[in-house]
Every structure is written in structure tokens, then in C-alpha cells.
Amino acid sequence: MSDVENVATFPAAFIPKESKFRLEDFDTLQASRVHWRVKGLWPATGVCFIGGPSMSGKSFWALDAVAKVCRGEDVLGRKSKASGAVYIASEGAAGVRNRITGLRSKIGPLDGAFRFIGQAPNLMEPEDVDDLEAALDEARHDLVEEGHGLGVVVIDTLSASIPGADENSAKDMSPVLAALQKMALRLECLVLVIAHTGKDETRGLRGWSGLLANADGLIMLDTPDGEARGGAVVKVKDGESGDRFGFELKRLTIGEDEDGDEITTCVIEERDAIAKPKAGRQPTVAAQNAETIKAAFNRIFPEKAVRIMAPGADGAMGVSLSDLQDEALRMGLGDLAPDCSGLTDADKKKTMRAWNNKRGKDFKRAVDLLRRADYRLENDHVWQIKANRRSPA
């Protein structure tokens, strides 16, 4: 039998497979080119984050920046390549609609380059991820036909898109990050994720440290200091970071409600960069929780406001205490869920019961602080005194 015949009859298991790994020589290796959506800030394909505490203006800033990309305008002084975008409002969809309406009144139409989804995906569920990708792929085809293409997908916010997840756990968060990275690759776009900070804002994004380690970019907004707001470019993979920027939120009337009262929102007005907030005495946990409750109040007010019938309310609009507590807890008030792995069922129930009781107490302490500010609480409802709010903001 010839050598050729021997090879032909050699067991298939011993025939080496073609490897996916390629060896390149140091002397001839060529530099790769980074393709940018916003040069030196956001890659054309990848996953980046916009982080910041509650009330820092994250969604306002993101909407303004993405609209600039749709028009091919500079973002933070960096050139952008014009493309279409899809904005997914996983929480506070009614408020985001108002913000988009306000932004449109400021900059004009975007000729179909900006699309909106008001339903929250569950990034923990593969079927939901597939459904979202199918919707985004359909949007991409439409945007291509209209001459825009799909360049940016915004998810606002991460926490509202991962119900029930332990944000501190690599076991929960690693698959979510992987799903976002695969989505970016399959759609050939930038996935821009809006995320909250933890109780210690100086430590950056809330939860698993792998988010920052694996992110292609991170912009962090500061706790607002009066009208002045700002942020910093914290990370740019394959680019420079560290520069700061400033902005203000300008109040804008976008219409009237059924009672003839103004419906208001805000738009971004760029300002000179403000100095990084000085380290000093940090607000108490109760004060931070009170700020979360204020943000929760603003978020649910457009959809759940009712007229307060309590004495002295003078026709003000407010929200029920139970709705406010549900939203505040969903936004992250109190400690993150404990890790119950390895516990017996009985111990799990005991641990979760203690956690829920503590969050309830945290809410009550924070509400007590609001009583000293511009809010009143009576008959299980909360309303704002100073603004005597009658229309959504």
C-alpha cells in the first residue's frame, strides 16, 4: 500500500483541524485601524457606558449627544460619523418621550434617523434578547433604506433592563455584558448603556467591577451643584481620557395637560467645564436615599399623579406613597440584594425578609427628610409644596 493510500485511510480523529489561531511575525505585523462612531470617544462597534448618580442628567445628556451623532455633529469636541440611532427607554418611558419632544423643539427634526422603543427588555432572558435584536435588526434595515444606517443603540437604564439580577455578581452580570457585546457585533453598532452609581459615587458604576474593566468607554456625570452640572471622560479604549465638560438643564414648556397647566421638560445647554467636585464630607445614606426618592417622584409623576384631597393641599397633584416606594426601591434605594447562594431555603427566606425590612426602614427614614424639605406626606400620598405641581416635568 502506498503512502498516499495510508493517509487516505488514516483515522479522521488524527487528522489535525484547521486552527482559528493565526501566528503573526513581530517584524511584519501591521497596525490595526480603530473605527470610531465619535472619534476618540466611542467606537463604531462596542459597548460603552454613561454613569452618574440620580438627578445628574444622564438621559438628558445622552439624548443630546445621540442627536448630535444623528446629525454628524461634534460630541465633546470630537468628530462624529452621522448615523441612525435607537433609544430604548427601559424606565420612565413617559418622561423620556417628553424629553425627546423638548429636544426636537430645540434642534428640529432628525429626518427619521432617531427611533424610540418604550418597552423594557429583560437582558437576563435569552429569548427577550433575541426578540430585541430582531426589532433592532428591522430598524437597521429601515434606517439603511433611508440612508442613515444604525450606528447607536441606547439602553436606559441597565438596572431596569435586568430585573432580579444581583448587580454585584459576576455570575449574573457577566452573561448580560456578553449579550450586549454580541448585540453590538451582530448589529455592527455601538451599544450605549446608561447606568447608576452606587451609594459611594466616587467608586463609579454600581455593581460588578467587570463592567468597567470590559467596557470600551465610560463617561461619568457628577452630582449636580446647583444649576452647574458636569462630568468627565473616564475611559476610552484605544483613546485618551480625563477631559471634563460642563452643562446646564434649561427648563422648557412643551405643551399643556387636560387642566390647561404647563407640561415642562429640560434640554441641555453646554457650559464651560466645571472643576471636579472636591472630596469632603459625604452625604448620609438617608440623604442619598432622599435624593433617590425625589428622582422616583419625578419619574412616576407624569403617569401616576393624582389630585390630593388632604386638607391644605390646595388642589396639588401628587403620587401615592406605595407607588413612590415601589419606584424608589426599583431604582436602587437601600442595599443590593444579598447573596443567598449556599443557604438553606429557610435561611434564604430569613435573609430576604431581613433585607426587605431594612429597605422599608431606609425608605421611611428618607421620607422623613423630605418632610423637612419641599414635600408633604398625608393620607398615604406625597406631593411637592414649593412647586405646587400640577403638570408633569
What per-residue string of b and e applies to 211-223 under the rule 16 or more CB within 10 Å gives b?
Answer: bbebbbbbbbbbb
- Choose between 33 and 246: higher pLDDT: 246
> What is the model's pTM?
0.69
**Dist CA 266 CA 271 (whole Å):** 15
Q: Pick the most confident of 219-233, 332-346, 378-392.
A: 219-233
10 pLDDT exceeds 60? no
The residue range of the domain holding 60 is 36-271
Of 86, 292, 281, the C-alpha closest to 196 is: 292
Rounded Cα distance, 25 and 1, in Å: 40
Q: What DSSP character marks residue 136?
A: H
- One-letter identity of residue 96: V
Residues 217 and 341 in one domain: no
Are the C-beta atoms of 211 and 234 separated by less than 8 Å?
no
Q: What is the pLDDT of residues 33-76, one digit of tens each?
A: 889 999 999 999 999 999 998 888 999 999 999 999 999 999 99
Residue 280: partners with Cβ closer than 8 Å, 6 or more residues away: none
Number of C-alpha atoms within 13 angstroms, CB side, residue 366? Answer: 29
Query: Which is more confident, 361 or 200?
Result: 361
Give the residue from 211, 246, 271 where a domain finishes: 271
Is the residue at 4 inside a domain? no
Spatial distance between the Cα atoms of 302 and 393, rounded to a whole number of angstroms: 7
Nearest one of 79, 70, 73 to 146, comparing CA atoms: 70
> Could you tell me if residue 10 is inside a domain?
no
Residue 173 within any structural domain of the chain: yes
Query: With 80 as the cut, is the pLDDT of residue 334 above it?
Result: no
Q: Are residues 160 and 308 in the same domain?
A: no
Are 44 and 182 part of one and the same domain? yes
Domain's final residue, options 271, 304, 334 = 271
238 and 106 within one domain: yes
In angstroms, rounded to a whole number, what is the distance separating the alpha carbons of residues 128 and 140?
A: 18
Q: What's the pLDDT at 360?
A: 83
Number of domains in the chain: 2
Tell me whether residue 23 is in a domain: no
Which grid coordinates belong to 283?
Answer: 452625604
CB atoms within 10 A of CB 330: 15
- Cell output for 20: 482559528
